[in-house]
Amino acid sequence: MRPKIKVFKNRDELSAALAAHVAHLAARACAGQGRFSIALSGGSLIEIISSGLCSDPLRGSIDWSSWHVFWADERWVSSSSPLSNYGLAAKLFFSRVSIPRDQIHATDNAIKPSETAKDYESVLAKIFQPPEGRMPRFDLILLGVGEDGHTASLFPDHPVLAERRAWVVSVSDAPKPPPIRITMTLPLINNARNLVFVAVGPSKADIVSKVFNPQMQNQELPARLVNPSDGEVQWFVDRAAATESGRT
């Protein structure tokens, strides 16, 4: 199934629409199962989603007590580091909403990366309690995309792309700093009910074009491998990021 793409005039318009979409999915999940599970990625995505969700009246209409927040990937740095996804979200997002702190599930960087990955799998198993042999099923995973086509911390031609059993793994040799990261694997990401990519700015125009051009030979771009068999993928992009995709 090809992903859907939504093009917005600018970053502010995209932020508002994305926040409304997330709020809708959260309300639907809460009505059906009493909680909303979401996994975040880092970088500009946190800034974009925070701007929309923390604006009234939308902020006041959301049942934050039902949210469980996880990380699609995290960098192996202290939470106080400017490179920390959690640290940025704590500053821009968590400090402005009332999600219970024990429902914000950060990775533990006090232990070895490989142990952190196993520990995070244990956290997922405890919260989701999937049937034996099944993976957790997120209501929503928010993803960015790099200019090389990477998403989460899944990089082109990296062996982690072939992982089929683990839910979470450590990466020790990411081609962009910092090199050590924790990331969800493709099978876990592709098991989500909803996946939303966010791309803004002219620097993302080339990779957005490659993702949506069926004639391109870059079939193994990680962003193109996000293709759930029972879920929906949408792209929220601004006009600058859509200029080469023919979707403006």
CA 2 to chain centre: 18
Position 116 pLDDT exceeds 70? yes
Query: What value does the mean pLDDT take over residues 152-177?
Result: 95
Position 67 pLDDT exceeds 90? yes
Under a CB-based contact definition with an 8 Å cutoff, are residues 119 and 167 in contact? no
Quote the strand ranges of the chain, DSSP E. 4-8, 36-40, 67-71, 73-75, 140-143, 168-171, 181-184, 194-199, 232-238
Task: Name the amino acid, one letter, at 133.
Answer: G
Query: How far from 16 is each of 10, 12, 40, 211, CA to CA, in Å?
Result: 10, 6, 17, 24
Position 180 pLDDT exceeds 80? yes
Query: Residue 229: which pLDDT band, with cuts at 50, 70 and 90?
Result: confident
Query: What value does the mean pLDDT take over residues 201-210?
Result: 94
Under a CB-based contact definition with an 8 Å cutoff, are residues 239 and 201 in contact? no
% of the chain residues with pLDDT over 70: 95
Under a CB-based contact definition with an 8 Å cutoff, are residues 206 and 131 in contact? no
CA 8 to chain centre: 20
What does the pLDDT look like over 41-64, one tens digit per residue? 988 999 999 999 999 999 999 999
CATH fold label, 4-242: Rossmann fold (3.40.50)
Query: How far from 63 is each of 18, 53, 148, CA to CA, in Å?
Result: 17, 12, 37
Which residue bears the tokens 């599970």?
37
Tokens describing residue 70? 């996880």
Tokens describing residue 172? 């020790």
Position 221 pLDDT exceeds 70? yes
pLDDT of residue 109: 86
| Count of beta carbons in the 10 Å neighbourhood of residue 11 | 19
Query: What value does the mean pLDDT take over residues 233-239?
Result: 97
pLDDT of residue 1: 60
Question: What is the maximum span of the chain, computed from C-alpha positions, in angstroms?
Answer: 46
Instruction: Name the DSSP class of 101.
Output: G
Q: What gap in Å lies between CA 133 and CA 197, rounded to an integer? A: 28
CA 77 to chain centre: 19
Q: In the predicted model, what is the mean pLDDT of the chain?
A: 93
pLDDT of residue 37: 98
Query: What value does the mean pLDDT take over residues 138-149?
Result: 96
pLDDT of residue 216: 64
Terminal CA-CA length for the chain: 21
Query: What value does the mean pLDDT take over residues 17-30?
Result: 98
Query: Residue 219: which pLDDT band, with cuts at 50, 70 and 90?
Result: low
Query: What value does the mean pLDDT take over residues 224-235?
Result: 94
SS3 assignment, position 206: helix
